[in-house]
Amino acid sequence: MTTNNLSQTGDFLSVTRANEWHLEPFSFSLDNGTQVDVLDTGVIQFTPKNCGSKDIVLSSAVHGNETAPIEICDELIKGIIKGELSLSHRVLFIFGNPASINIEKRFVEENLNRLFCGAHKKGEQNNEKIRAAKLEAYVSQFFNAFSDKNRKRIHYDLHTAIRDSKNEKFAVYPFLNGKPWKKEELSFLLSCGVNTIMMMKSSATTFSYFSSSMFDADAFTIELGKVRPFGENDMSRFEKAKMTLTQLITHDTVNYPEFNFADFELFEVYRTINRTQQDFSFPFSDSAANFTGFAKGELLATDGDTDYFAEVDGEAIIFPNAKVALGQRALLTVIPLQNKTDFV
Ligand SMILES: [Zn+2]
């Protein structure tokens, strides 16, 4: 398809997939006065005539094979361009890594979600590093368009997890450099069907940490379920997320049910266990579900002569991989969040 019938079809995903790394910018406006700016392949900005106080970034396909969020954003973009959805706020949609969508892989050369916060500048350049630099620039111009400090900046980076998870949907709340976590944001996540949240205690090179640390945006990496190919997603499982995102962009304000800690499972990162010996094993299979918890004293891993035991009741495993190279992380563990006072 060509770019000049985008205003009829709304099919920005096809335009994006046909232009893997580059697309000349172009603009048009909708009958309802919304300005549409295609900034690059996979990057489309909507500015409604009377825009509200939120600046919202919705990204997907930072990992190309994570199709469900791509399908959700594709539908939202089509709805907006066809005039079926009427925006209340400025929205920037990003399909992060179009070439990796086409090859149905997580990435082409390098994991895009480890290349933000300037990490793309390090080492030999490749397409993903160049893309990360451009995405940083598009997000910067989007958030910097207004100097008004009262505007609410939001960036939800939508993913699906590779493996099964005891808590199928979960979100990563980036490290806030000492600022308190926000209950209202957790309520938004709950409304999307996400009640499991990993609170990070250190900086990262992820897309969500970039927006959070650089622009004070309320930003999350949101895992909406398990990876499946296009067309094989049971979209009913994503209905809550899609509905909540639709409300977010089309309503001036959204009211969520009253916040209650009992509705959530909040975790904090506890430790990483590296493989240092050839002889490394887990007492569970590598496909064990994320967030499987262990009682204090239960065996978590054996690295040569060293046994690692759960040190805290409920210490839970994330992304176990016994086959990593020596010196690499074989396991991340989390524990129930210990201090619940750091919330506003
Ligand atoms: Zn992902």
- For residues 123 and 226, state if they share a domain: yes
pLDDT in tens, 141-176: 999 999 888 899 999 999 998 777 777 899 999 999
Q: How far is the CA of 16 from the centre of ligand 1 (A)?
A: 19
Q: Which domain holds residue 311?
A: 269-336
Mean pLDDT of 6-29: 97
Residue 241 lies in a domain: yes
- For residues 305 and 216, state if they share a domain: no
Residue 188 lies in a domain: yes
Domain boundary among 261, 279, 309: 261
Output the domain CATH number for residue 324.
Answer: 2.40.50.630
- Residue 120 marked in a binding site: no
Mean pLDDT of 65-85: 97
| Structure confidence at residue 7 (pLDDT) | 94
What Å distances lie between residue 328 and 272, 280, 303, 325, CA to CA?
10, 12, 12, 6
Q: How far is CA 185 from the centre of its chain?
A: 14
- For residues 112 and 227, state if they share a domain: yes
| Structure confidence at residue 226 (pLDDT) | 82
Q: List the one residue out of 155, 131, 158 whose CA is nearest residue 143.
A: 155
Beta-carbon contacts of 290 under 8 Å, excluding residues fewer than 6 positions away, are: 161, 163, 164, 165, 166, 167, 170, 316, 317, 318, 319
Residue 289 lies in a domain: yes
What percent of the chain lies above the pLDDT cut of 70? 99
pLDDT(234) > 90: no
| Structure confidence at residue 236 (pLDDT) | 83
Residue 341 lies in a domain: no
Q: How far is the CA of 315 from the centre of ligand 1 (A)?
A: 23
Mean pLDDT of 286-308: 93
Q: How far is the CA of 66 from the centre of ligand 1 (A)?
A: 6
- For residues 255 and 276, state if they share a domain: no
* Token duo for residue 246: 């639709």
- For residues 224 and 309, state if they share a domain: no
Q: How far is the CA of 335 from the centre of ligand 1 (A)?
A: 22
Which pLDDT band holds residue 127 (cuts at 50, 70, 90)? very high
| Structure confidence at residue 19 (pLDDT) | 97
pLDDT(139) > 90: yes
Residue 191 lies in a domain: yes
Question: 282: helix, coil or strand?
Answer: coil
pLDDT(122) > 80: yes
Mean pLDDT of 93-101: 98
- For residues 232 and 282, state if they share a domain: no
Which pLDDT band holds residue 91 (cuts at 50, 70, 90)? very high
pTM of the model: 0.93
Q: How far is the CA of 144 from the centre of ligand 1 (A)?
A: 26
- For residues 158 and 221, state if they share a domain: yes
Which pLDDT band holds residue 2 (cuts at 50, 70, 90)? low
Amino acid found at 256: Y
Listing DSSP states for 206-264 in one string gives: SHHHHHHHHH--EEEEEEEEE---TT-S-GGGGHHHHHHHHHHHHSS----PPP-GGG-
- For residues 230 and 144, state if they share a domain: yes
Mean pLDDT of 89-101: 98
Domain boundary among 261, 293, 319: 261
Lowest mean pLDDT, pick from 3-17, 68-82, 158-172:
158-172
Output the domain CATH number for residue 21.
Answer: 3.40.630.10
Pairing of strands 218-226, 170-173: antiparallel
Which pLDDT band holds residue 4 (cuts at 50, 70, 90)? low
Mean pLDDT of 205-210: 97
Structural domain total, the chain:
2
Which pLDDT band holds residue 3 (cuts at 50, 70, 90)? low
| Structure confidence at residue 118 (pLDDT) | 94
Q: Which of 110, 128, 223, 315 is catalytic?
A: 223
Residue 165 lies in a domain: yes
- Residue 155 marked in a binding site: no
Domain boundary among 261, 288, 319: 261
**Residue 276 neighbours by CB distance under 10 Å:** 13
Q: How far is the CA of 24 from the centre of ligand 1 (A)?
A: 27
- For residues 107 and 182, state if they share a domain: yes
Q: How far is the CA of 224 from the centre of ligand 1 (A)?
A: 10
| Structure confidence at residue 109 (pLDDT) | 96
Q: How far is the CA of 256 from the centre of ligand 1 (A)?
A: 27
Query: Which residues have CB less than 5 Å away from ligand 1 (the ion)?
Result: 63, 66, 159
Question: Is 136 an annotated catalytic residue?
Answer: no
Largest separation between any pair of C-alpha atoms in the chain: 69
- For residues 298 and 180, state if they share a domain: no
* Token duo for residue 1: 């398809």
User: Average model confidence (pLDDT) for the chain?
Assistant: 94
pLDDT in tens, 254-295: 999 899 999 999 999 999 999 999 999 999 987 788 899 999
* 73 within 8 A of 60, measured Cβ to Cβ: yes
**Residue 79 neighbours by CB distance under 10 Å:** 17
- Residue 22 marked in a binding site: no
* 91 within 8 A of 60, measured Cβ to Cβ: no
